[in-house]
Chains A and B, each alone.
Chain A
């Protein structure tokens, strides 16, 4: 049995004390979620099937910390539940973030044209996009089109570009947010810093997962999916609103420990 212990910590820092704020986080459904300062959390499953925990802090505060701890069986973790039939249509349509510019469309169409199968085309589209884009540690552009024009982006940006290209070639695709273990062969008992990452899935006979930033299938014990949606906006790991919409900084980190 391959188990992975996951501790995902999110911290939100405001420039000054705020009187009141509302936070929602998307974490593994099996995670124990702790919040500081104390707040009463409620949780629900959103339209896309992700577990959302939300809470309000109504005492003056300058910082919020959320930690989610889970122990998952990596052989079954993150398997998506069956979706209502409508989702496949929703995953095939462009969104504001994933509208493909002309050159990306042309590239996707051409790649599809020379591929032996839809799955081959999808892999090839993702690989070429991942290879063409320089990696950034944080998001560089609000839309796929802009990230593509810069040929640069974070895992999330690259996933958006890949999704835009896949959909423009008629392949339903979705955005996955989750955790990635840095080592191909995780060592049992060793705690390492993992990535809070984004990758893509496309649908043919079934859903296939691929990490366009790492040019490899997003499967096996290294990838744990937390939430899926049309784009990053549907599955924001953290969303914070404060009383006067004060500026805030969000940092997110995950520690992963492989277990027997």
Chain B
């Protein structure tokens, strides 16, 4: 991949896009497609026959101790058998220049609408550059996502009604929920607007009630049931899950997908790729220590100041601890947390996730990571040519070149 901060300091307010050439993108694409398919196979297996566990690829205790392994969601799957309709996967370049996977989100990946918005901003900011380079468009993600959601409709529904279920105003990400709904041409609803009756899910509209066939949920499993944290959501959650279980509504992404996002379970993805497909992983994982293994825990406790330690569950709000930046007091607190709950954390080499460097060329060389999105319609796994390049807390656009003769900018 050739990549560079293109116009120096003239764009201090708009992050510089990352440029990825055709060949490297083709490699990313193959790797992401392989991952997404294996995540899908894994979810069907873990909520079904559990063959990978029987055959010792993944320890049973690792799955059973996962907070997002929702046994009550076993058997709930959309009309086309897909559970992860849209997936986000985070990749990063290691010191040797290889792209590696940090983790992913198969529940409710955030950022798809930001990709489209960023493209508008980056082409406005760099009009000449963006015309001169042939950049693959990203707006196709709207029709792809809409099609994937429609393809997941219950059997026998030919013209499904799709809604986007959002937590509602004030919650983080509410703005993106609205933009996703607009992108795919679906109505945005809150849980209180949905009503379960006759084994189906309905929506009240000005002109009466309307049957809902596919719910693209942007709320977490806990808000949807089966854990249903909010008492007022309980009855609705039960009705919703019952309708989904009997194949009368599709919840997309499926409830229970969080088991595939658990960072400890994620360390087994390369093994699961080999097990399910017989192929080698195209994109490897970032080196990760499993702290439920006593030897690894001991090593990590010795080297806390060099490593980055992350909670296995990205949705708890607990922040990763970057060893080199942490104070002795933070490290000693972390050390206690790891000893108390080794299952709750993993460690990765800090070098791969170092905080953003200040000079653009440095930062693009190693430290920024890239969130790639894939959309699975069942017939086809499509990778969005682009994504969010993250540098510290900033998000930049990612330009994928469409012409193989362009080697990016050097």
Whether A241 contacts B60 in the complex (CB less than 8 A), given A42-B245, A85-B50, comes out as no
Scan residues 37-73 of chain A and give those whose CB is less than 8 A from a CB of chain B.
Answer: 40, 42, 44-48, 54, 56, 58
- A89 is an interface residue with CB less than 8 A from chain B: yes
The interface bits of chain B over 198-226 (1 if a CB of A lies within 8 angstroms of the residue's CB, else 0) are 11000000000000000000000000000
CB <8 Å contact, A47 and B74:
yes
Chain B residues near A24: list those with CB within 8 A. Answer: 238
Chain B residues near A46: list those with CB within 8 A. Answer: 71-72, 74-75
Chain A residues near B337: list those with CB within 8 A. Answer: none
CB <8 Å contact, A84 and B50:
yes
- A86 is an interface residue with CB less than 8 A from chain B: yes
CA A31 to CA B395, docked complex, whole Å: 58
CB <8 Å contact, B74 and A85:
no
Chain B residues near A84: list those with CB within 8 A. Answer: 49-50, 53-54
Whether A56 contacts B53 in the complex (CB less than 8 A), given A22-B235, A241-B234, A241-B235, comes out as no
User: Smallest distance from the beta carbon of A104 to chain B beta carbons, Å?
Assistant: 22
Whether A93 contacts B238 in the complex (CB less than 8 A), given A47-B71, A245-B231, comes out as no
Whether A42 contacts B199 in the complex (CB less than 8 A), given A84-B53, A85-B60, A90-B64, comes out as yes
CB <8 Å contact, A245 and B234:
yes
CA A188 to CA B191, docked complex, whole Å: 55
- A243 is an interface residue with CB less than 8 A from chain B: yes
CA A89 to CA B198, docked complex, whole Å: 39
Chain B residues near A48: list those with CB within 8 A. Answer: 71
- The number of chain A residues with a CB under 8 A from chain B is 26
CA A48 to CA B71, docked complex, whole Å: 9
Contact of A86 among B53, B199, B235, B238 (CB under 8 A): B53
- B242 is an interface residue with CB less than 8 A from chain A: yes
Max count, chain A CB within 10 A of own CB: residue among B63, B64, B72, B197: B64
User: Smallest distance from the beta carbon of A245 to chain B beta carbons, Å?
Assistant: 6
Chain A residues near B47: list those with CB within 8 A. Answer: 47
Interface residues of chain B: helix, strand, loop or mixed (majority)? helix
Scan residues 3-62 of chain B and give those whose CB is less than 8 A from a CB of chain A.
Answer: 47, 49-50, 53-54, 60-61
- A20 is an interface residue with CB less than 8 A from chain B: yes
- B383 is an interface residue with CB less than 8 A from chain A: no
From B54, which residue of chain A is reached at the shortest CB distance? Answer: A85
CA A24 to CA B245, docked complex, whole Å: 13
Chain A residues near B74: list those with CB within 8 A. Answer: 46-47
CA A46 to CA B198, docked complex, whole Å: 21
From A45, which residue of chain B is reached at the shortest CB distance? Answer: B75
- B270 is an interface residue with CB less than 8 A from chain A: no
Chain A residues near B75: list those with CB within 8 A. Answer: 44-46
CA A47 to CA B64, docked complex, whole Å: 12
CA A84 to CA B58, docked complex, whole Å: 14
- The number of chain B residues with a CB under 8 A from chain A is 26
From B56, which residue of chain A is reached at the shortest CB distance? Answer: A85
CB <8 Å contact, A93 and B61:
yes
User: Smallest distance from the beta carbon of A56 to chain B beta carbons, Å?
Assistant: 6
User: Smallest distance from the beta carbon of A79 to chain B beta carbons, Å?
Assistant: 20
Whether A86 contacts B239 in the complex (CB less than 8 A), given A40-B199, A42-B245, comes out as no
- B246 is an interface residue with CB less than 8 A from chain A: yes
CB <8 Å contact, A47 and B53:
no
- B196 is an interface residue with CB less than 8 A from chain A: yes
- A242 is an interface residue with CB less than 8 A from chain B: yes
User: Smallest distance from the beta carbon of B147 to chain A beta carbons, Å?
Assistant: 29
CB <8 Å contact, B235 and A242:
yes
CB <8 Å contact, A93 and B72:
no
CB <8 Å contact, B242 and A54:
yes
Whether A90 contacts B242 in the complex (CB less than 8 A), given A84-B53, A245-B231, comes out as no
Max count, chain A CB within 10 A of own CB: residue among B50, B75, B242: B242
Whether A89 contacts B61 in the complex (CB less than 8 A), given A47-B71, A84-B50, comes out as yes
Contact of B64 among A42, A45, A86 (CB under 8 A): A86
CA A84 to CA B63, docked complex, whole Å: 13
Chain B residues near A234: list those with CB within 8 A. Answer: 71
User: Smallest distance from the beta carbon of A25 to chain B beta carbons, Å?
Assistant: 13
The interface bits of chain B over 64-79 (1 if a CB of A lies within 8 angstroms of the residue's CB, else 0) are 1100000110110000
CB <8 Å contact, B235 and A20:
yes
Question: Besides A44-B246, A242-B235, 9 other CB < 8 A contacts?
Answer: A42-B245, A44-B75, A46-B71, A47-B72, A47-B74, A56-B197, A58-B198, A85-B60, A86-B53
Can you list 13 A-B pairs, Cβ within 8 angstroms, ordered by A? A22-B242, A24-B238, A40-B199, A46-B74, A56-B199, A56-B238, A85-B53, A85-B54, A89-B60, A93-B61, A234-B71, A241-B234, A241-B238
